[in-house]
Chain A
């Protein structure tokens, strides 16, 4: 059959010719049904295209007039296009170093054409907060994002700070089936309008690609693809799967599920399932599942996987292309996902790694773009791409499920997907703004920092690792990207290349809850050892302070927390006491300061959502961060400990230590640019007024000034 496919069309034309010659006129009638599919489809396409184009052209003058009316009163824009390349986490110290060594010629070129500065980040210096401030031009107290996680004061349990994904609670029962009577509510918890929404209100187009905290997407005049906070098909922030014949293995600390494989007689054949999202059409919402058959060829090092009627050959050690998964809920209702797979071992034991199952951008089960068809458009244009907020599977590398090579392959593949959509959008942008964030810089630095510094605990025994220079290669990769963008600039374009924060080492972890416990601020329930996650063993009736999230610490305030005990009049005193005790806290093992300063959030910023903020932002020193146990609310264990995980670099530290980078092809007037300055500056460049609530200053000189 492959022979037929491979044969050139000329052969077919020849056959057609013979038939036509032989049959003369009569044969023409016989061609009809054969040609039908192609002709019907083609004619339909031409017809639909013509109709759409005609309607669009007819409506265009009215839309043009409407846009003119909306822009009435706006000043003349000073730029035609605003292009922002966000390199999440690009560190200025490393940038300086590599620039000095002549390894980043395009960054140098950009700096020489305009400027290069440190970019002040937010408190705390983490992406959801910083990018929210970038978009809205406000401090966190006005956009309501203070960390990755916030806590529910009623339960003390963690919750996503940026998104609320509701559940269906009204059903129509039909025997075993139940029909949902409404869609689950999806709510973006980020407040304040981002500048692209404000530009849209003035009729100025924006394309916003993968800026964190845009799920569910903003609705505005433009297109947006969601990023950080967009869940996988299971509704989590990324759960990888590991199918393995190995019986042993502890539960993964973060982000993964281990699924045992058992052969049914034949040691080279396995049958299992991939579990998907909950099937809300049935009582108890059991997970939807796709049967999977695996057949091994151990000698060849390959596994043949049969799923959804398709067959995929997986070569050991190679990450597959995207594989489409179709979960069937009830007849006519399907949920589509995409994942990649890799056989991680195929010797005595067999293990198969499956990336978190991302929403299929072509048919997303939840809206991951605005307009909703935008992700479909991108998928049709460039093929499947990851829609998961945290697309690079850091947890799998952290848990040693995959190796460095696999992680880098995945990260650069995602970067390629991003670049394709970015340049595609750039080519189509005539006027307006294009904002795109490349996350790979952040993820690769998180995972490969250990190889960059002497004596990092996570690199012990891996001194000759193959990817020692991964970070330098990453910066060179970014330099090429900048070079390519520079090559596409036109007159009237303003280009910014920025990062939301810098990076530093994460050598040692401190468990703040252990410290609070040891110092009498946090009490465990009687008989508890503090080993349970998410502070479940805390006796709240005797607890005055607790830590949750990467950088926040809370007081157990009476009237605010469900079982709060700290009276309003005692808050100031307790804050002062904790700041005095924790600022400058020294790691007894290294003699280094672990916490530079404990910041009182109320002294950092003001705004309507300040009540949702943690009471403190913890300013860790270089090399320190909250420990892995501390981040998941475990009270037991050591106060200080080495970080031996691959996640070896971080930025959730004292924000003064990790500013971002700011490159622009124009000089700026303001000194000390900050990430909150960008939104108001962009609005002004497009001739718009800056809303009074914005905290940022203008970076560029006003015309005539």
Chain B
């Protein structure tokens, strides 16, 4: 999994880096377009296209029927019932391709989340760097504060901490960024040095708010950085980046909503040229 994530990170970094200085909409639109093409391709090959076309025809016929027999209430209700039945069949037929689409989109979504979901730290901005321990950590049983160290490179300063919150199993430092750049802080715990990336940038870039333990799900959901290794008591190492919202005509929308809508729009526009019934 580590290697898969490393490859995916490299690909997404390479694809999105040309758009890093631009508005997030640009890169997102490109990814949505590519995703739409991929999704249509999968949809075409994993769905029963003939059955989908037939059921869509039945839905259209029902809509025409309502219009045609608009003086006949029972006919209207009958047509509505047939539309709803056909709609249920349509959902059922859409289920297999939908499931197949989830698999690649899962990875795409996870990668995009760490490009568009957060904003980099700005110079003079502060954030929390938190070490969270597993429930079975020795210190929790003993009721003692864990012995930890934190080394930060030039450009990052430790302003306070660590503060131990045993109820949360967390040790937190307040850190500040002096100037823009890519940094690596090192947390020492249990004789192991755990590196953690910290990014200060105003561009669209991959940010890793969570460095997690090497469990499968952790790596699936937080692929932006290699997992913690050699420290079994550590659950995660986190940096509190601000969440990003995209500006759309004055409205703040989450990136995933924009991605979702754009992809749907592209897919609907491309379905005929690609010969796909959706």
Q: Is A430 an interface residue (CB 8 A)?
A: yes
Chain B residue at minimal CB-CB distance from A17: B99
Q: Would A377 and B61 be within 8 Å (CB), given that A22-B216, A23-B221, A60-B70 are in contact?
A: yes
From B96, B103, B221, B256, give the contact of A9 (CB < 8 A). B96
Question: Are A4 and B260 touching (Cβ within 8 A)?
Answer: no
Mark B243-276 against chain A: 1 for CB-CB distance below 8 A, else 0: 0000000000000100110011001000000010
Question: Are B68 and A374 touching (Cβ within 8 A)?
Answer: yes
Q: How far is the CA of A102 from the CA of B57 in the complex (A)?
A: 43
Q: Would A430 and B102 be within 8 Å (CB), given that A7-B96, A30-B109, A373-B67 are in contact?
A: no
A373 proximity list for chain B (CB < 8 A): 64, 67-68
For residue B45, give the distance in angstroms from its CB to the closest CB of chain A: 5
A604 proximity list for chain B (CB < 8 A): none
Mark B42-82 against chain A: 1 for CB-CB distance below 8 A, else 0: 01011110000000011111111111111111111100100
Question: Are B264 and A40 touching (Cβ within 8 A)?
Answer: yes
A377 proximity list for chain B (CB < 8 A): 61, 64-65, 68
A383 proximity list for chain B (CB < 8 A): 57
Question: Are B46 and A380 touching (Cβ within 8 A)?
Answer: no
For residue A199, give the distance in angstroms from its CB to the closest CB of chain B: 14
Chain B residue at minimal CB-CB distance from A377: B64
Question: Are A12 and B64 touching (Cβ within 8 A)?
Answer: no
Interface residue stretch chosen among B83-91, B130-138, B167-175, B225-233: B83-91
Q: How far is the CA of A376 from the CA of B62 in the complex (A)?
A: 11
Q: Is B30 an interface residue (CB 8 A)?
A: no
B96 proximity list for chain A (CB < 8 A): 4-5, 7, 9, 11-12
Question: Are B90 and A42 touching (Cβ within 8 A)?
Answer: yes
Q: Is A253 an interface residue (CB 8 A)?
A: no
A428 proximity list for chain B (CB < 8 A): 65, 69, 72, 75
Q: How far is the CA of A67 from the CA of B70 in the complex (A)?
A: 12
Interface residue stretch chosen among A50-58, A352-360, A390-398, A494-502: A50-58
Q: How far is the CA of A633 from the CA of B99 in the complex (A)?
A: 68
Q: How many residues of B contact A (CB 8 A)?
A: 61
For residue A577, give the distance in angstroms from its CB to the closest CB of chain B: 57
B106 proximity list for chain A (CB < 8 A): 19, 23, 27, 30
Q: Is B98 an interface residue (CB 8 A)?
A: yes
Question: Are A33 and B263 touching (Cβ within 8 A)?
Answer: yes
In this complex, the member of A9, A22, A60, A373 whose beta carbon has the largest number of chain B beta carbons within 10 angstroms is: A9
Question: Are A64 and B84 touching (Cβ within 8 A)?
Answer: no
Q: How far is the CA of A32 from the CA of B66 in the complex (A)?
A: 31
Q: Is B220 an interface residue (CB 8 A)?
A: yes
B221 proximity list for chain A (CB < 8 A): 23, 26
Q: Is B192 an interface residue (CB 8 A)?
A: no
Q: How far is the CA of A37 from the CA of B109 in the complex (A)?
A: 17
Given contacts A12-B96, A430-B72, 16 further A-B contacts (CB under 8 A): A1-B45, A5-B48, A7-B96, A11-B96, A15-B100, A30-B102, A33-B264, A37-B43, A37-B264, A49-B62, A49-B84, A53-B66, A60-B73, A309-B275, A428-B65, A430-B74
A-B contacts, 29 of them at CB < 8 A, read: A4-B45, A5-B46, A9-B95, A11-B96, A12-B95, A15-B100, A16-B102, A19-B106, A23-B217, A24-B217, A33-B39, A33-B109, A33-B264, A34-B39, A34-B99, A34-B102, A35-B98, A37-B98, A38-B95, A42-B87, A45-B59, A53-B77, A56-B76, A60-B73, A67-B71, A371-B68, A377-B64, A379-B57, A380-B61
Residues of A in contact with B (beta carbons under 8 Å apart): 1, 4-5, 7, 9, 11-13, 15-16, 19, 22-24, 26-27, 29-42, 45-46, 48-49, 52-53, 56-57, 59-60, 63-64, 67, 205, 223, 309, 371, 373-374, 376-377, 379-381, 383, 428, 430
